[in-house]
Chain A
């Protein structure tokens, strides 16, 4: 009985958790938007399409083992991936299957810092980060 009540409480709280996660992601996006405007006052709104292009482009400036995001995340953001250097499994990046994604600003920034350097061979711009998250939020 207690177990059933607890289950009911957890199910009832689920939408709250999802909303809270969205608010945190929105705050991260708002922060990148502000930074993008600081670089270029005429910066456009984030684009899922540009985010997808960023995700699928094969770059030449980074580590050849990770020439594109898909090297670890696979061509399907909803699928689990695998670290191309260590073999470590990676949880899906798509928010629909992994709602925890892009909810902790420190983790998001740390991962962009590392991955952009490895994949693109340079830092990502705030606009690129926002595009990427916008693409993944719709996946």
Chain B
């Protein structure tokens, strides 16, 4: 009995398994995570450190200029912190990255538009068509709580 006829199939299978096991390299479920300590601390204390690739640079700039009304909350910061965060978010924004999942999100952003809610992007909505009961689950709390279901979301993996 020879194993040779199985080899190409096995190789293909191994490649597929490898891709499934490493979504970081598979592309579409991957969004480069936040690596800046100030952003992690100042943004991540209250909510997940959302990846800048989900919004264009002008959205982040608008957000960092309106922290006194941040989704209804006053989260004013010292100016030096604001500028560090703004610089990081705009340098890594969706229209700057413009590939993989970021490009898919940017596809739906109107030219010149400054959306603020990642959860209103059609690419998000398309993948989150759940019955209301799912959103009402106490561990979910809100649509922006990615980590309730995507345990590796903060590392950029949305499986």
A residues near B (Cβ < 8 Å) are 82-88, 110, 113-114, 117-118
Contact = CB atoms under 8 A, between A and B. Distances in A.
A87 B73 contact: no
Nearest to B47: A86
Contacts of A86: 46-48, 141-142, 144-145
A87 B143 CA distance: 10
Main SS at interface, chain B: loop
B120 interface: no
B103 interface: no
Interface of B: 44-48, 73-77, 139-142, 144-145, 147-148
Given A86-B46, A87-B148, A114-B74, 5 more contacts: A83-B141, A87-B139, A87-B142, A113-B76, A117-B74
A118 B70 CA distance: 13
A102 B147 CA distance: 27
28 contacts: A82-B141, A83-B46, A83-B141, A84-B141, A85-B141, A85-B142, A86-B46, A86-B47, A86-B48, A86-B141, A86-B142, A86-B144, A86-B145, A87-B139, A87-B141, A87-B142, A87-B145, A87-B147, A87-B148, A88-B44, A88-B45, A88-B48, A88-B145, A113-B76, A114-B73, A114-B74, A117-B74, A118-B73
A88 B147 CA distance: 8
A110 B46 CA distance: 12
A120 B144 CA distance: 25
B48 A114 contact: no
A88 B154 CA distance: 12
A83 B71 CA distance: 15
A34 B15 CA distance: 67
A109 to B, nearest CB: 11
A130 to B, nearest CB: 23
